[in-house]
A and B are shown apart, each in its own frame.
Chain A
Amino acid sequence: MESIKIDGSPKTPEVNFDYQTGLIEIKGRSIPENSIEFYKPMIDWLEEYTNSPQDKTTVQIQLEYFNTSSSKCILDVFKKLEGISKNGKEIEINWYYEEDDEDMLEAGEDYQSIIRIPFKMIEIEE
């Protein structure tokens, strides 16, 4: 399986989906013009990954800001991961937020209450 590597931009996050290491990273801002189009390759990748996932998948989400339409796409990413976890593979989700960013912490907690995988909330010092 090929990896996904997308550089970050002021409107879109940096994305790293690495099959060999089972590492999934989304970092930065997510306010793309068309969220569905932007996240589609990631959803497709996960769809394929579900068939032969690594024993352990590590997910690093470090978002500074995301808009409403991205929030649904990010939920779709988590839904796919939830499916893999249901098949008995280990999924570790690390949700990073800046020290005083209560909104981002809350957003992580919101996802955690929808997805049946525990999140590790990690505070980044400014």
Chain B
Amino acid sequence: MEEKKIYSFSSDVIDYDSVNEALSSISNIIDTMHFPSQLRRGLYMISAECFDNMYKHSQKVLSDFPVFFEIFYCRDEIRFVASNPVSTKSAQKIQTYLRFINYLSDEELKSHYFTTIKTEKKTKKGGAGLGLLILKRKTNCPFEYNFEQKSKKTTIFTLVLKLSLKSMKLYRISETEHTPLIQFDFKHENIVMYGQSRPEDADGFYIDICNWIAENESDFAAMERPVLHVDLDYYNSSSLKNLVRFIRVVIQHSAPSLKIEWTCDSDDELAMDDAQEISRIVKKKFVLLEK
């Protein structure tokens, strides 16, 4: 799947107001993506921390180079790119520190964090060292970074942070104009389906998903109280029989405690009928939720 840029910020100057504005639009974007709440908080936290660093650096270094921050998303990874000018003198220090952090194991990182928070002197600019440690603890991949010296005084520092959704046991099939978002969150034991379903090739689309479920049956079996939540605005008739196929496969691979929640408009009688019909075919009671 292609990588998608979900957020981009670029500016010559960065002040507290622009940081606030950026964070609130990031927060809105994250909300529309239907991520689990823990991941939503994580994304916000990483963004806020990056902006905090960029803001502090920009107060120290006067340069003609812009500050930028971007968030990319692809199926199993979210990537953050933060870039800002730093003084060439401090670039060397940052690089050594990043290399050191990457080298630490999770346990070592934790104990180094404790030592740092206890001993590091507070300055008005805040401890960048501590910020990097927190970012490293929140992300689950090594830091990638680049330093490009522009002049004797100024170097551009670019930091790339990655969040692996795979290691969070989160799998997503992104929403498209014709197909719904399907998200399997094995850690929080829920599967959600949002959006529309009118794929060109409904059989092909759903067979792929059913095969994927079968390949990952151990993850399904490991869920103790799974919930499948279906909230479709629209589905065409060829999707209907495929929804039955999909739900059957989910039931087949999940614990009997599986709860199926079906959301539809209370005044949409057709949709209510469909839900009851599917429930009858798959022999499983649905919890009907009103929109």
A binds B: yes
Q: List the count of A-B residue pairs having beta carbons below 8 Å apart.
A: 62
Tell me the bound Cα distance from A105 to B234 in angstroms: 39
**Contact partners of A67 in chain B: CB under 8 A:** 45, 48-49, 52
Asked if A50 is at the interface of the complex by the 8 Å CB criterion, the answer is no
Complex contacts, B32 vs chain A, CB 8 Å = none
* B window 13-48: CB within 8 A of A: 16, 20, 24, 36-38, 41-42, 44-45, 48
Whether B188 pairs with A68 at a CB distance below 8 angstroms is no
A68 touches B126 (CB 8 A): yes
Interface presence of B9 (CB below 8 A): no
Assembly CA distance A67 to B52 (angstroms): 8
Interface flags for B47-63 (1: CB within 8 Å of A; 0: not) read 01100100000000000
**Residue in A72, A101, A113 with the greatest tally of chain B CB atoms within 10 Å:** A72
Q: Which residue of A lies closest to B27 (CB)?
A: A10
Q: Is A48 among interface residues, defined by CB-CB distance under 8 A? A: no
Q: Are B126 and A103 in contact (CB under 8 A)?
A: no
> Interface majority SS on B: helix, strand, loop or mixed?
helix
Please provide the 4 A-B residue pairs with the shortest distance between their CB atoms, ordered closest to farther.
Answer: A69-B126, A68-B131, A33-B16, A68-B130
Does any Cβ of A come within 8 Å of B134's Cβ? yes
Instruction: Please tell me if B248 contacts chain A, counting CB pairs below 8 Å.
Output: no
Give, as a whole number of angstroms, the nearest-CB distance from B188 to chain A. Answer: 6
Assess the B134–A68 pair: CB atoms within 8 A: yes
Minimum distance in angstroms from B117 CB to a CB of chain A:
6
CB–CB B118/A11 < 8 A: no
Select which of B41, B48, B114 is within 8 A of A103 by beta carbon: B41
In the complex, the answer to whether B49 meets A68 with C-beta atoms within 8 Å is yes
Contact B130 A100 (CB under 8 A): no
Known: A11-B20, A67-B48. Is A114-B124 also a contact (CB below 8 A)? Answer: no
A57 to B243, CA, bound (A): 57
Known contacts A110-B113, A114-B118; A65 and B41 CB within 8 A of each other: yes
Q: A65-B44, A68-B52, A68-B130 are in contact. Are A36 and B37 (CB under 8 A)?
A: no
Interface-centre pick from A73, A103, A113 (highest chain B CB count, 10 A): A103
Q: Mark A98-125, 1 if CB is under 8 A from B, else 0.
A: 1011110000001001100000000000
B127 touches A (CB below 8 Å) = yes
Interface size class of A (residues with CB under 8 A): 20 to 34
Judge whether A65 and B38 touch: CB under 8 Å. no
Q: What is the CA–CA distance of A103 and B46 in the complex, to the nearest angstrom?
A: 12
Complex CA–CA separation, A51 to B45 (angstroms) = 37
Cβ contacts A to B, 12 pairs, < 8 Å: A11-B20, A65-B44, A67-B45, A68-B52, A68-B126, A71-B130, A72-B127, A100-B38, A100-B188, A101-B38, A103-B42, A114-B117
Which residue on chain A has the smallest CB distance to residue B114?
Answer: A114
Q: Is the CB–CB distance between A103 and B124 below 8 Å? A: no
How many of chain B's residues touch chain A, expressed as a range?
20 to 34
- Known contacts A11-B20, A34-B124, A71 near B41 by CB under 8 Å: no
A24 at the interface (CB under 8 A from B): no
Q: In the complex the two chains form, what is the Cα distance from A72 to B113 in whole Å?
A: 11
* Interface-central residue, A11, A31, A100, A101, by most chain B CB under 10 Å: A31
Is A100 a contact partner of B44 (Cβ separation < 8 A)?
no
Chain A residues within an 8 Å CB radius of B117 = 71-72, 75, 114
Assuming the contacts A68-B134, A69-B52, asked whether A103 and B38 have C-beta atoms less than 8 A apart, the reply is yes
Residues of chain A within 8 A of B49, CB atoms compared? 67-68
Query: From residue 53 to 80 of chain A, which have CB atoms closer than 8 A to chain B?
Result: 65, 67-69, 71-73, 75
With beta carbons under 8 angstroms apart, the residue of A10, A36, A100 that contacts B124 is A36
The answer to whether A68 touches B122 (Cβ under 8 A) is no
Taking CB atoms, residues of chain B closer than 8 Å to A65 are 41, 44-45, 48
The docked-state distance in angstroms from the alpha carbon of A88 to that of B36 is: 44
Q: For A66, give the chain B residue with the smallest CB separation.
A: B45
A113–B117 alpha-carbon span in the complex (Å): 12
